[in-house]
Amino acid sequence: MFYSPAGIMFMLLLAFLLFAVVGVLFLDLARTAFTKIGFTWEQALFVLLASLLGSGINIPVTNMQCSTPMVTERYVRAFGIAYRIPVVENVNCNTLLAVNFGGAVIPIMISVGLLFRFPASLLYALAGIVLVAIVINRVAKPVKGLGIVTPAVLPPLVAALAAILMVYILGAPSQYIFLIAYTAGTLGTLIGADILNLNKIRDLGAPVASIGGAGTFDGVFLSGLIAVLLV
């Protein structure tokens, strides 16, 4: 399935932030932790750009029988952001559970790859993931017709704080600060907001509920941007 997880203006804002970060990297105004673990800024750009462009791709997983009538509004607002709902004309109330390519598949692949590449960071990263998952799960909000929604700026802020805590308080090697922030911000958000709330999807009357899609994609994407800028 192809559809944008948020309104066009908000997606343009995310694109602007992406290219602003790229400008910072290109001008070498910030040394990123990305380079400390063997990546180049070009690879950082590729990961973030692929996440943004892949946000419109949702991979169907299964159909879930709704316990409430289907919501037919085309846009739903939550935490000040308008999210687009792909309205599906259906006599029966079925919610299509999908996985967003840019908001779940790519971040999971990158996170797992980083953890395999740097196994010494595993305990610190897991601690960060658990911390972010707990916080995000507490504030995640089920929204009728849409799915599970989190405030866009909260996941990257909590992930950045978790990475700083691991490095400067608990003694994790400083070169892992990006890795901890990225894995905690992406996996922690996906687990805390989407995975731990799958049991609530049936009650929302949503045509499509996408893991890492509308409602959580912005937080996952911003986590990647913030992680890249951490030194």
Q: Helix, strand, coil proportions of the chain in percent (round to 5)?
A: 60, 15, 25
- Residue 132 pLDDT > 90, yes or no? yes
User: Quick one: pLDDT at residue 22?
Assistant: 58
User: Quick one: pLDDT at residue 64?
Assistant: 76
User: Quick one: pLDDT at residue 130?
Assistant: 95
DSSP 78-89: ETTEEEE-----
User: Quick one: pLDDT at residue 27?
Assistant: 47
Instruction: Give the separation between CA 210 and CA 194, rounded to whole angstroms.
Output: 9
What does the mean pLDDT of the chain come to? 76
The pLDDT tens digits of the residues spanning 190-209 come to 999 889 988 888 777 777 77
Domain borders along the chain are 8-229
- Residue 51 pLDDT > 90, yes or no? no
User: Quick one: pLDDT at residue 50?
Assistant: 80
Q: Mean pLDDT over residues 155-172, rounded?
A: 89
- Residue 7 pLDDT > 70, yes or no? no
Q: Mean pLDDT over residues 155-170, rounded?
A: 90
Q: Mean pLDDT over residues 71-99, rounded?
A: 63
- Residue 33 pLDDT > 90, yes or no? no
Tally of CB atoms within 10 A around 193:
28
The pLDDT tens digits of the residues spanning 35-44 come to 555 666 677 6
User: Quick one: pLDDT at residue 19?
Assistant: 64
User: Quick one: pLDDT at residue 125?
Assistant: 94
H or E segment at 149? strand 147-149
Instruction: Give the separation between CA 131 and CA 185, rounded to whole angstroms.
Output: 10
Instruction: Give the separation between CA 133 and CA 131, rounded to whole angstroms.
Output: 6
Q: Distances from the Cα of 156 to the Cαs of 147, 178, 189, in angstroms?
A: 20, 12, 9
Question: Global pTM?
Answer: 0.75
- Residue 97 pLDDT > 80, yes or no? yes
One-letter amino acid at 39 equals: F
The pLDDT tens digits of the residues spanning 212-231 come to 876 677 777 777 777 766 65
- Residue 129 pLDDT > 90, yes or no? yes
Instruction: Categorise residue 79: left if φ over 0, alpha if ψ from -120 to 50, beta otherwise.
Output: left
Q: Taking Cα atoms as reference points, which of 80, 88, 64, 60 lies closest to residue 143?
A: 80
DSSP class of residue 176?
G
Quick one: pLDDT band at residue 107, thresholds 50, 70, 90?
A: confident
Contact 43, 16 (CB under 8 A): no
